[in-house]
Structure 1
Amino acid sequence: MSPVNPFDDAGTARAVVDEGGTLVGWNAGAERLLGWTAADAVGRPAAEFLVGEATGAVFDPEALRWHGLVTLRHQDGGSVSVWLLAHRTEPDGGGPAEWLVVSPLDGDLRHPADDPLEQAGLLQSPCAVAICDDRLRLRRMNDVMAEVLGLPEEHVRGLRLPEVSGRPQSAEIERHLRRVLATGQGHDVQTYVPIGINGRMNAWLARMSPITDAVGKVRGVCLAAHDFSEQYRARERLQLVNEASVRIGTTLDVTRTAEELAELCVPALADFVSVDLLDPQDPGGEAFAGRPTAPVALRRTAHLSINPGTPEAVVEIGHVDLYPTPSPQADPLLAGHSIVATTEADDLAQWLTWDPRRLERIKEYGIHSTMSVPIQARGLTLGVAVLCRFRRQDGFTPDDVLLAEEVTARAAVCIDNARRYSRERETALALQRSLLPRSLPATAAVDAASRYLPAARAGVGGDWFDVIPLSGMRVAMVVGDVVGHGVQASATMGRLRTAVRTLADIDLAPDELLTHLDDLVVRLSAEAGHEGSPGEVGATCLYAVYDPVSRRCTLARAGHPTPVVIPPGGAPRQVDLPVGPPLGLGGLPFESAEFELREGSVLAFYTDGLIESRERDVDAGHRLLCEALSTSSDSLDETCDRVLHRLLPTGGAPDDVALLLARTRGLPSSQVSTWHIPADPALVAPIRKQVVEQLERWGLQEASFTAELVVSELVTNAIRYGAHPIRLRLIHDTATLICEVSDTSHTAPHLRRAKTWDEGGRGLLLVAQLTQRWGSRHTAEGKTIWSEIALLDEG
């Protein structure tokens, strides 16, 4: 023993044998025992040092520990009978396993009766007690410690703790023992180590106290170990259940929830986990209510292993496999409860006789225990989770089953919630898309393109857009956003869009239209309430009307983001427009603004989901939008895609997004003709003649007969029933001829059924029959009666 290092290993004969049986380590204690130097022994087969057969346990390469009496060959030709203890160890840096073989050299030394280490009175304690000397070699231990270690005291006396256990955790315990020996102060340590021949992991509270002689000198250390594994495992189970409530169900996505279940269980509960789910019986339907029948079709949704790449898995993610009975997947679903199978009981092999590939994986990776837990929630069977152990030597206990069922039950509720959310989202999205325009109408006033993107994570909202042809070649453009998400928001959006189209048909000014729409939202809120409490229906909206003849645009908004205009060759800018309150507040006024647009100007209408996000404020969103719109492009569709790519995150927008781009056209003055008509019925015939002549100049002779009749009727009615001044205007494009008669009277005409003997009442009926549509709109000066004559043969 060196006085410099009192903890050297000269008191133990130690050798290291590789998996091939060759000696790769030989210490001074081994030389002291057998006389062979390290140079003589290392590299030789260990079997050369054996004389005859070993007494005691049979050497098992798969075991973790072996001990017994052997006879070894001494260097001088004689033989030595010794007790050996061998541990299977895994190198820290990886690589093949090795066997550490030790034997105590000083275990049989006699000590004086007054030795404090011999007089220690703890050996009858119900705790596991071990006493180490000042070299930290085991001097005494009680029967409880011998039972824990699975080794008799007389054979391990003189060994250090790492040599007794063969576990790397023991080196940490020895470091704490050395601290007590050096300081003379007691120390407590909690550790979780495998102890005993079965390698079962136990939690220990190690209380270390110095042992002193009569003069107070520290002569050794007493180690008393208290097994609190049950309390430790209960705390672990509680912590795992708590983690399950936090880590599982972070998203409303079925696949991600299954992955979170696997991530929670590996390695805390198992070395490999697979999650297989039943597909709904019909698209958009519920999962199985009750228990399915064999064979069971399951889709692999997630799996995870402690080994990189999950090599134990036979089925790929997303693949559907058919599981018969018996099998780890089908049997628990048919039984309705968890099932544990082990290789020791041979039921695991019987389970997998139907699939040789799976049975081969069981043998290849040494899987010894499997626990199959059905995934059930709200009376529905959703799938099964299969947990396997191969690196952990202990099998699944009843407490492990209860823990797995608790964690799986939480995951099942989250999976069911995710499926219900997905079904509701698909329903709301289908409703939303059915209520939005499938394509934008072709008009003479604007070229338009649009995009609608539902929220990536939240429920489908109530964003909408529309392009509505109006009389006189004008066009209305609207963008709106209903507060909230889900089917209710989509349904409310549909009602508001229908209301806007209805109000647009009667040609209300933008501010008047928003006033009527506000009244509707107030009524919808009242209807949505229950038990006397008001509802929470609200919306924002922007409504614009563009006239290609005058090239003027009138806009009004109700709490909606400001539109952006890009003049030809100019920079994008926000339109200066009064804000207006959101729809649903009731009783507050809306203001409109009118401005002229050069032909080729682009108007950008959008909902707040495009510019608002957690990463930036609204002003920054507006700047990004203007930057995206500043790049000129002849294609509005390309511009839409560029805007979405520039402003929205890769994973999708957190809120619904509606985008509408419209490039204005101007109607040339050569396609418009206007007459101011005196209040003289005798002048109707000359007006008809001038209309025919104008149509001939336009090359629209085929429409002359119909136009002459319509103009005659409308002008005659205006002279007879309207107020002066009266104006006649003809407008045409390639497809439509429009006849408009305006006067200062606010009384609107209407169709009526004339009796046989009535002399009048048939004029408007004739107009309705000859034209593709007709109507009236109120103006600031009075009203305008209009009709549209189709120029193209629809057949």
Structure 2
Amino acid sequence: MAAIPTQRESQAPGHEPRGRATLPGSPLAPGSARALVRAALAEVPGVSGRLADDATAVVSELVTNAVVHAGTDVEVEWRLEATGAFVVEVGDRHPSRAPRDPVGGETPYEAAEYGRGLRLVATLAESWGVTYRTGAKTVWARLPPGGVEPAHEPARLPALEVAEGLATQPQRAGCDREWLGRGALSFLAEASDLLAGQLDENLVAALTGQLIVPRLADWCAVWLEDEASARGGTSGGPARVWHASEARIEELRCALEKEPPCPGDGLRSNPERYPWPGDALGPEGTHGAALAYRLIAGGRPLGTLVIGRCGLSRFPDEVTGLVEDLGRRVALAVGAARQYARQATISAVLQRGLLPGAVAEIPGVRSALVYEPCDKGGPSGDFYDLFPAGDGRWCFAVGDVQGKGPEAAVVIGLARPWLRLLAREGYRVADVLDRLNQLLLDDATEAADAAARALVAAGGRPVRSGDGPQTRFLSLLYGELTPHDGGVRCTLASAGHPLPLVLGPDGGVRTAARPQTLLGVVEDETYTSETLDLRPGDSLLCVTDGVTERRSGSRQFDDGDGLARALSGCAGLSAELIAERIRRLVHDFGGGLPEDDLALLVLQAE
């Protein structure tokens, strides 16, 4: 999640401590809101721990409700009044609607539209409500100065022990009304954090079972639907089945597979009765109550959650409401996991299209490549290529686009095919860079003109000429190899890129090009190239700045010619071993995971 922009007013005498933040409407928003408020209250002298806990729980529920029902960015504003009371307002950017009168005995906060978590908020807050303004809706709550005094301290669950802790607590649903009324808020808050951090929908389903059993039910099952199956309702077996007794899980699964839930029409998450699978639960489970909850997020059904309790004719309302709220969080987590999976798949396909399927084999040259994008969920800004250009020539490129993600993919998708086309058309190294530089500048100008026309067509203010086109910068090391009897002739040029190094058999290291301007920066820039001979045993090392700028505290890997020193220690090694040794040294230098993409290419004359 991106950093939360916050503002706090001065806490000088006579001023009420206050703050506000804008949070992206994602499953991580409630956790961010809790952290924000708790940190802010910790800085205010005299705030009791109970008030801080209650304020954190109320903020969590209000933000969760906004994320579930609005799906937009969320505005959170809080203040500590002179009386010591805590007031919070949570607004979303969904178009506001006027309050509706109850129809047919239905309350204004029916389960289909409003989270029951707000009813839990009401048990903590002295007052709360919904304020409708022109184009906006805000839910607010107010807590008295000392928080709400309970009959006894509620159950509070450590964040890292939620799943295990619930499984060992002795209280039974319907027997601990104090926990259901107050401690349930902590449960929902911690469950939100636990579920929101998962990027696998099957793991979300597994955690759901551990959260529910045995605290809220004796058993539960989760069916997950893909887009196709959702049109016709749930079918097939459940993704996860959980029972308080592990010996009953498989028998229960078999029974549930014969009775998949059949959701009714509409997108309602309120519970519906489910047939009791008594034969699968042994003599002590012949009678009980079971409920099915539709898992809905973003207006789409994602699955069904079924819970069961032996010996009950019906679940207490407090339990059904709490599970309904938990189900909303489960649905959000499943939706987020699916969105991540879709994005990862798209990124993987895109990345494969931006990189060569295989590097060319060059007569008389051994090559080795290391390519490690730091963000596995999006296209890298680094790229490489090694391809035949005809007439006994092979060309190579190692580049780094400013930025990452789709913008980087656009530049790579433009640059790499043009490199191949120009090389195969017979253009030499310097000419290729000249034309690629102009191509990037022309493309940026066209993109800026198109954006300006779209802005004017939409009624916006025309872009001033001083704003200019936004260029797309590219650093590139590009070269051409021509093998001959005595080794390999190499012509290359570096445009704003870390300079290549040549390692001799005796361990000597020298640079093989001179620095020149980034591509896509200066109009009509003229590039030049250098030519050298790689004799048998010579190795050419080409890297991106993920190698040279690898950080360890305030130091970088290439400080004091660190890369050259590392390469000199690779004398006598093969291309593959040189690449692996440099990779390992770079990783070890930082002591943690790389924060930038890493690419290096070794070309060794045989």
Q: TM-score, normalised by structure 1?
A: 0.43
Residue in structure 2 matched with residue 385 of structure 1 by the alignment: 305
Corresponding residue SS for 2:422? helix
The answer as to 2:344 corresponding to 1:420 is no
Q: CA deviation at 1:400?
A: 3.4
For CA contacts below 8 A with separation 6 or more, give which structure has more relative contact order.
Answer: 2
Deviation string, structure 1 residues 65-119 (Cα, Å, up to 9, x no partner): xxxxxxxxxxxxxxxxxxxxxxxxxxxxxxxxxxxxxxxxxxxxxxxxxxxxxxx
Of the candidates 458, 461, 478, which is equivalent to residue 543 of structure 1? 478
Match of residue 299 from structure 1: 239
Cα gap change, 1:196 to 1:324, in 2 (>3 Å): closer
Residues matched between the structures, number = 422
The structure 1 residue matched to 2:224, chosen from 251, 254, 277, is 277
Q: Distance in 2 between matches of 1:434 and 1:396?
A: 54
* Residues 326 and 351, structure 1, Cα contact 8 Å, conserved in 2: no
Runs of 5+ unmatched residues, structure 1: 1-186, 204-231, 281-285, 342-346, 666-795
Equivalent position of 1:531 in the other structure? 451
Question: Does the C-alpha gap of structure 1 residues 258 and 325 become closer, same or farther in structure 2, counting only changes over 3 Å?
Answer: closer
Matched AA of 1:248? L
Residues of 1 paired with 2:385 and 2:172: CA distance?
A: 77
Q: Which residue is equivalent to 2:368? A: 449
Give the equivalent residue in structure 1 for 2:415.
496
Q: In structure 1, which of residues 553, 556, 560 is the aligned counterpart of residue 493 of structure 2?
A: 556
Whole-Å Cα distance in 2 between the matches of residues 292 and 625 of structure 1? 63
Q: How does 1:152-551 map to 2 (within 5 A)?
A: 190-192=152-154, 200-203=175-178, 233-243=180-190, 246-250=193-197, 252-258=199-205, 261=208, 274-278=221-225, 280=226, 286=227, 288-292=229-233, 295-300=235-240, 313-314=249-250, 323-324=256-257, 326-327=259-260, 330-332=261-263, 350-352=275-277, 358-360=280-282, 363=284, 370-387=290-307, 396-444=315-363, 446-455=365-374, 457-470=376-389, 473-486=392-405, 489-529=408-448, 531-532=451-452, 534=469, 537-549=472-484
Equivalent position to 1:660, from 598, 601, 606: 601
SS at match of 1:248: helix
Check whether the contact 1:444–1:473 (CA below 8 A) recurs between aligned residues: no
Match of 1:663, as an amino acid?
A: Q
Distance 1:662 1:394 in 2: 75
Instruction: Check the 8 A contact 2:201/2:334 in 1, yes or no.
Output: yes
Q: Deviations over 1:471-505 (max 9, x none)?
A: 66443220123344456644542321111112223
Q: Deviations over 1:520-539 (max 9, x none)?
A: 22233334445327557443
Counterparts of 1:383-782 in structure 2 under 5 Å? 383-387=303-307, 396-444=315-363, 446-455=365-374, 457-470=376-389, 473-486=392-405, 489-529=408-448, 531-532=451-452, 534=469, 537-549=472-484, 553-570=490-507, 573=509, 575=511, 577-587=513-523, 592-609=529-546, 619-620=556-557, 627=566, 630-631=569-570, 636-637=575-576, 640=579, 647=586, 656-665=597-606
Q: Which runs of 5+ in 2 are unaligned?
A: 1-148, 156-168, 453-462, 464-468
Q: Distance in 1 between matches of 2:150 and 2:384?
A: 71
Considering fraction of residues, name the structure with more strand. Answer: 1
How many Å separate the matches in 2 of 1:269 and 1:580? Answer: 67
**Between Structure 1 and Structure 2, which shows a larger proportion of helix residues?**
2
**Does the CA-based 8 Å contact 2:494-2:514 persist in structure 1?**
yes
Contact 1:195–1:201 (Cα < 8 Å) also in 2: no
> In structure 2, how many angstroms separate the alpha carbons of the residues matched to 1:637 and 1:448?
7
Partner letter of residue 531 of structure 1?
Answer: A
SS in 1 for 2:239: strand
**C-alpha distance in 2 between matches for 1:199 and 1:497:** 65
The letter for the 2-side match of 1:383 is: G
| Equivalent pair of 2:489/2:531 in contact (CA under 8 Å) | yes
Q: Is the 8 A contact 2:557 2:586 kept in 1?
A: no
Q: CA deviation at 1:603?
A: 2.0
SS in 1 for 2:369: strand
Q: Which amino acid aligns with 2:197?
A: T
Alpha-carbon contact 1:373-1:408 (below 8 Å) kept = yes
Q: How big is the shift at 1:631?
A: 4.9
**Percent sequence identity over matched residues?**
27
Please say if residues 461 and 655 of structure 1, whose CA atoms lie closer than 8 Å, have aligned partners that are also in contact: no
Distance 2:171 2:403 in 1: 62
Give, in whole Å, the separation in 2 of the partners of 1:322 and 1:236: 34
Distance 1:196 1:299 in 2: 28
Give the CA RMSD over aligned residues.
5.0
> Structure 1 residues 275, 536: closer, same or farther in 2, change over 3 A?
farther
